[in-house]
Structure 1
Amino acid sequence: MWVTSSLTTALTPTAVALGNFDGVHRGHQQVVKPVLPESLAESLATRSLAAFPPAESRCPEDKSLLENTISESRDSIHKLSISTNFYATVVTFNPHPQEFFTGKSRALLTPPDEKVLHLASLGVEQLVMLPFGREMAALSPHEFVENILVQQLRAERVSVGQDFCFGYKRSGTSADLQAIAAKYDVEVIIVPIQNSEGERISSSMIRQALLSGDIERANRLLGRPYTLTGSVVKGQQLGRTLGFPTANLQLPSEKLIPHFGVYAVRVAIEPAQNFSQDSTEFCGKEKNNLTENSLSHLLPGVMNIGCRPTVNGTSTTVEIHLLDWFGDLYGKTITVSLEKFLRPEQKFASLAALKAQIEVDSATARALFIGNG
């Protein structure tokens, strides 16, 4: 997957999914779907078949021609799904526009590297992270369509969510985008707002769930477990002295940290990610290792997020104890999938009491994973 922050190095022509895509949640996935090769091919076939009269009024010649068209459409779907006529592209903004306007940093569900992996797993071929500054913020909706989408990205199709806003002071709506783009013969797909169990799926709702410890709700809205990916670094090795060695995880500074407490988790020990990077772009040579290869060998464990009040800790730490697994993880990258929130962080009267509780937490997690297979 090609990733760039410069329009001059973007691969064209494109089919573009437009938005912020923090989390790459179930709603985002529906916005991405129309720009993938398979969806483009199906759309072409559907338009071809739409020219035929209803079944009850078809003459024999229509039926014969229809059979040939169906056969040709199937061939078109197969050919287009493997062609590179249009690059399936996600266009997003960096920093997030809200961060630019407020001047406040924004915790991310998916920092750039994670976003790349999740988008690649969907079949996206290119990610364009447009630098968002005064110049971009000043573009009118018409200027954005003409200058960015038409002239520079050579977009043939654009997909956005129903609530998408763009242009100066968010003055353009998804309907405006559709109307403006039509003048340039660019098709715009407006994807309805997605819901889960009567609740709107949004990055804000997922953040809220994570910060309150409702990991099951967050995972349902995401469509997958929330993950923490980082490098294992040396800690104080307190867990080892208690008989429960832990991996101390160093996360990207912008990563959203869930509610402090203890979680049942599954852990993937990652092979080195195959990316090349310079100041403006990097290229992932392999499809998502995170979701395809390494997650087939997940290790059960328990994780504590917090400040370790029992030993008067002051800084936030993320520590994972793998159940029934031993090995050297220092320097390795691991991905931790949060499955269930077990309990809040608490201060114990002694290390012995802490050790006893870790034994309980480990047993609870083990029973959970045995029960779920």
Structure 2
Amino acid sequence: MLTDAQLPLEQGCVLSLGNFDGVHIGHARLIDTLASEKQHCKAAVFTFAEHPLNLISDRKIVKYIIGSSDKMKYLYELGADAIYFADFEAMKDYTPEKFVDKILMKKFNPRLIVCGENFTFGRGKSGNTKDLGRMLTERGVECRIMPPVTYEGQVVSSTLIRSLITNGDMEKAEKLLGRKYSIMLPVIHGREIGRKIGVPTINQLFPHDRVVPKFGVYACVCEINGVMHNGIANVGVRPTVSENEPGPICETHIFEFGELLYDKDVRVSFCKLIRSETKFDSIAELKEQIYKDIEECKNYFRGMN
């Protein structure tokens, strides 16, 4: 990760600009372009830890698909060499010209800047890609505006992917992300009701600023110490056993796995929605349905093999 102490980049860079929430296949094309054009300099990414819309509003307008650590992980995997998380508050009142000169030119010394066609910059989003291209050309820098990537006639965007996740369409979300939608969160202590009925689970609490999948039961894959394990996850508020959860929880039963994972970060990747969350009349009824769900998930994985 680039810090201000490491700037300016005297050797120059090729630079991509954007929020990059989710790091989807449209973003991948931007980074591919950087990686192919860098030639003896860094492929750098200019982004934000917090979405600007959330910083200018009293409420969280944008729910994040992934956290900052995953954003870095996926951008590096795609070919970025350096990632700079900008301080939006420090530059939100800059004119477009000041942003270009004081931030882009002075800090990054770019040879090429790449961004999507919906990129805006400057106070009140007053600068657009046409303005950016003109200003950079005047300063001797190439600007490449990339057209959107489409899938099945729809423009691939973080907004569309959020909608797919909240509707439980994990298969289509995977196509647009280029990988399964996943969470990477610490395992917290629960009430151990699953353990008492023979189905131990790990519990993970969704942060308040994160997208939450449609409440329901999912076939999933868990990564533990680099090893992948099939499992079944329930996302919701556990209506049968609790009515006062602090927020949506992901409860995951990992098949053929018995280790305790409290306080460890575990990645849970969502494969397919099995059914919506249901409130049952009794624990016995819930247990019966859980075993049916487990068998359906195992059949799903058998079919994938």
Alignment TM class, shorter chain as reference: over 0.9
1:228 aligned to which of 183, 192, 199:
183
Identity of aligned residues (%): 33
In the aligned structure 2, how far is the partner of 1:252 from the partner of 1:89?
28
One-letter amino acid of the structure 2 residue matched with residue 119 of structure 1: L
In the aligned structure 2, how far is the partner of 1:168 from the partner of 1:318?
39
In the aligned structure 1, how far is the partner of 2:52 from the partner of 2:122?
11
TM alignment of 1:111-260, pairs within 5 A: 111-133=67-89, 135-260=90-215
One-letter amino acid of the structure 1 residue matched with residue 6 of structure 2: T
**What is aligned with 2:244?**
314
**What is aligned with 2:6?**
9
**What is aligned with 2:30?**
31
In the aligned structure 1, how far is the partner of 2:74 from the partner of 2:265?
17
In the aligned structure 1, how far is the partner of 2:282 from the partner of 2:274?
21
In the aligned structure 2, how far is the partner of 1:11 from the partner of 1:346?
55
> How many corresponding residue pairs?
300
Unaligned runs of 5+ in 1: 42-79, 271-293
Alpha-carbon contact 1:23-1:115 (below 8 Å) kept: yes
1:342 aligns with 2:244: no
1:98 aligns with 2:28: no
Aligned-partner SS, 2:187:
strand
Structure with the higher fraction of residues in helix conformation: 1
Aligned-partner SS, 2:132:
helix
Alpha-carbon contact 1:248-1:319 (below 8 Å) kept: yes
Alpha-carbon contact 1:209-1:215 (below 8 Å) kept: yes
Moved over 6 A (4+): none
Unaligned runs of 5+ in 2: none
Alpha-carbon contact 1:111-1:252 (below 8 Å) kept: no
One-letter amino acid of the structure 1 residue matched with residue 260 of structure 2: D
In the aligned structure 2, how far is the partner of 1:317 from the partner of 1:156?
46
**What is aligned with 2:290?**
358
In the aligned structure 2, how far is the partner of 1:11 from the partner of 1:366?
53
1:40 aligned to which of 26, 30, 37:
37
Aligned-partner SS, 1:349:
coil
Alpha-carbon contact 1:212-1:259 (below 8 Å) kept: yes
Measured after TM superposition, the shift of residue 261 of structure 1 is 0.8
One-letter amino acid of the structure 1 residue matched with residue 161 of structure 2: I
Q: TM-score, normalised by structure 2?
A: 0.93
Alpha-carbon contact 1:231-1:251 (below 8 Å) kept: no
Measured after TM superposition, the shift of residue 253 of structure 1 is 4.2
In the aligned structure 1, how far is the partner of 2:7 from the partner of 2:287?
54
Could you report, residue by residue, the CA deviation over 1:103-132 in whole angstroms, capped at 9, with x for unpaired residues?
A: 222321111111111111112111111111
Alpha-carbon contact 1:10-1:128 (below 8 Å) kept: no
One-letter amino acid of the structure 2 residue matched with residue 121 of structure 1: E
Could you report, residue by residue, the CA deviation over 1:137-191 in whole angstroms, capped at 9, with x for unpaired residues?
A: 2222222111111111111111000121111221222122111101221111111
In the aligned structure 1, how far is the partner of 2:69 from the partner of 2:108?
23
One-letter amino acid of the structure 1 residue matched with residue 176 of structure 2: L
One-letter amino acid of the structure 2 residue matched with residue 22 of structure 1: D
Measured after TM superposition, the shift of residue 348 of structure 1 is 0.8
Aligned-partner SS, 2:64:
coil
In the aligned structure 2, how far is the partner of 1:160 from the partner of 1:326?
46
One-letter amino acid of the structure 2 residue matched with residue 226 of structure 1: Y
Aligned-partner SS, 1:121:
helix
In the aligned structure 2, how far is the partner of 1:224 from the partner of 1:252?
21
Cα 1:202–1:231 shift into 2, 3 Å: same
Higher-Rg structure is 1
One-letter amino acid of the structure 2 residue matched with residue 220 of structure 1: K
Name which structure has the greater RCO, CA cutoff 8 Å, separation 6+: 1
In the aligned structure 2, how far is the partner of 1:350 from the partner of 1:259?
23
Alpha-carbon contact 1:263-1:341 (below 8 Å) kept: yes
Aligned-partner SS, 2:163:
helix
One-letter amino acid of the structure 2 residue matched with residue 314 of structure 1: N
**What is aligned with 2:235?**
305
**What is aligned with 2:299?**
367
Q: CA RMSD in A?
A: 1.6
